[in-house]
Chain A
């Protein structure tokens, strides 16, 4: 037990000194094993469920789905408890008009004084621009599920985790803002949802997305020539990085002002009246969520609220969810359950994964060693072994 921190320290040293070569090798070496009939069936199911398909040699990710109608359930309101208003100053209060929450026709938001409105407004405005109704896509590959030559290659969680691991290392190395990390992931996810790319270009996309995010968020972005070319271990030229930047911008129609979970997370953490441990745990769970595609189907605000809820559960905070949090997040405890369980399941398996930079980051004493704390037992399925 005593040697565990040393092992982690070594692991971190290895990652930091040669993350770029490791990243490239992992990415190209992680091609899925020849698909078994079982895998093919799963793939077919995924396609039927609405995942996009792509010709051989390309890769895709699951497109952002609209939230399921059952994400928000109308619950009978208990007697109102005392609600703490976390507004900065009374003269900034803005009254929310009764508005229907996106994606749900039954749920009405009450008239409240809350700054979350600003973020929701920004979120709605952004999605209003880019979400156009699309025709239903017919799955043209369903008949070919047993043909190994036609099997669709997906960027699955392994690829995403490798990309994310590398990003966190770079993010730490350059001492970038958390906003930059979240925006980079958002750019990559959205780009891969609309463009099929060869596997060898994944790191190039990552680097260009990081470049764009630093320009958008940082006061002094790192220089392309000095820094970003070296990040790829000179696998890509200065020009390739900048050309890819233009391609991504064109594909995303220059929409970078996006609702990212972090914007909501900071707000909901504040509503949680947190201690440092709770804050670290919420950030840890939120970043774990970014590593996996399973969270894409939830609104950024829901992922953020679920991270705070799961953090409170893990640290046995009482009550687990209160009226203040419900007011400022717009979600009840019941509505957060599915997403929170998902985040906790990631927490329970992260220590055994090969891609564990997030785990190492939050195992640091500076971050309160929250990654080593046991996950929220009440949100884990019975019989599952944690860590």
Chain B
């Protein structure tokens, strides 16, 4: 990352269009005037009249300063200051530009049915050349390779974060950026991320978008670790296969009930200590269903990996590093990823 900008954001960049908005502020597609390079500008207002640099921005920039060298973490190129129309200080985080995110990508797939765009076929063939030998291949075979590639990249990015002692805590399709041409996936939006220490200390349980939130967090655990990210990865995996959210709850209680209906209501046998968690109550008793009922088109190896990502007991949940070594990914040519 360059030193905090000599030129102000206004002088250095030309805004092209607004591409997103959130609690943090707006995201623009912009052109760097000096080089003509397309970048993403994430705008954050500094609340001088209130609390200064928001904690989320402080953490995000600091953590990205360390993680940005990994190909599967979005690259923070610069931090620039500017002023808005009211004369308030505004901070611009300058990121490499990615043309879509996994949420949009899944939505476009859902709308176009099962047809695969030609550029994806080209990418898949480069990742798995052995497909050339199959005269009649089916759409699901392509989808399977495409799925493996995206999931492997996601596990690799998460493993890199965890290997550097960073929890993301907000993994969801919207926060996974993609390049349509190369099918490259990158983890973004580390506003809720934080460095962890061992032994794990107390953290806030108000993290993670509801649908991807781990059961220990929903049940009020404040001591949690890398397993919360792996639960999210599992939910994303299922969503990539079915094109719809695995557990689409609209409240914390509904979210838990969605999980319990599929995986069975947990108890002390399957998850020691669950009944001591802050939000534990007597819940309706459901028996665990087979994951294939929720994700019917996923093959046996994929279901095995998914089941290990969705284990109730956090310490039994598969790590990102172990997930990368799972036999599900054996067909992939990992040199390209």
Contacts and interface: CB of A to CB of B under 8 A. Distances in A.
Contact of A216 (B46, B59, B201): B59
B202 interface: yes
A122 B58 contact: no
Given A267-B198, A270-B199, A253 B315 contact: no
B66 interface: yes
Interface in A88-130: 88-89, 91-92, 94, 115, 118-119, 121-122, 125-126, 129
Contacts of B69: 125
Contacts of A320: none
B62 A122 contact: no
B10 interface: no
Interface string A59-80: 0000000000000000000000
B203 A219 contact: yes
Contact of B53 (A88, A121, A249): A249
B315 A89 contact: yes
B335 interface: no
B63 interface: yes
B322 A91 contact: yes
Among A91, A256, A257, A267, the one with the most B-chain Cβ atoms within 10 Å of its Cβ is A257
Given A118-B164, A118-B198, A221 B55 contact: yes
A269 to B, nearest CB: 9
Contact of A125 (B54, B164, B319, B321): B164
A254 B51 contact: no
B204 A224 contact: no
Interface stretch (A48-56, A239-247, A292-300, A355-363): A239-247
A88 B315 contact: yes
A129 B66 contact: yes
B52 interface: yes
A170 interface: no
B3 to A, nearest CB: 7
A378 interface: no
A224 B165 contact: no
A340 interface: no
Contact of B65 (A211, A255, A267): A255
B197 A263 contact: yes
Contact of A253 (B1, B50, B89, B318): B1
Interface in B173-215: 195, 197-199, 201-204
Contacts of A290: none
B4 interface: yes
A95 B117 CA distance: 41
A223 B55 CA distance: 12
A83 interface: no
Contact of B50 (A129, A224, A262): A224
B92 to A, nearest CB: 13
B46 A246 contact: yes
B165 A242 contact: no
B162 to A, nearest CB: 8
Contact of A215 (B55, B66, B89, B203): B55
A126 B65 CA distance: 8
B282 interface: no
Given A263-B197, A270-B199, A224 B53 contact: no
A246 B164 contact: no
B62 A257 contact: yes
Among B61, B165, B199, the one with the most A-chain Cβ atoms within 10 Å of its Cβ is B165
Nearest to A251: B4
A225 interface: yes
A211 B199 CA distance: 25
A246 B197 contact: no
Contacts of A239: 48
A92 B319 contact: yes
B296 interface: no
B310 interface: no
A119 B164 CA distance: 7
A317 B5 CA distance: 54
A250 interface: yes
Interface in A120-156: 121-122, 125-126, 129
A111 to B, nearest CB: 16
B65 A216 contact: no
A101 to B, nearest CB: 18
Contacts of A89: 315
B78 to A, nearest CB: 11
A183 to B, nearest CB: 10
B164 A245 contact: no
Interface in B292-337: 315-316, 318-319, 321-322
Interface string A205-235: 0000001100110010101110000000000
A125 B66 contact: yes
Given A239-B48, A254-B79, A270-B199, 20 more contacts: A88-B198, A91-B319, A91-B322, A94-B163, A94-B321, A115-B198, A118-B162, A118-B165, A129-B65, A129-B66, A211-B52, A215-B53, A241-B52, A245-B52, A254-B61, A254-B65, A255-B66, A257-B63, A257-B65, A266-B199
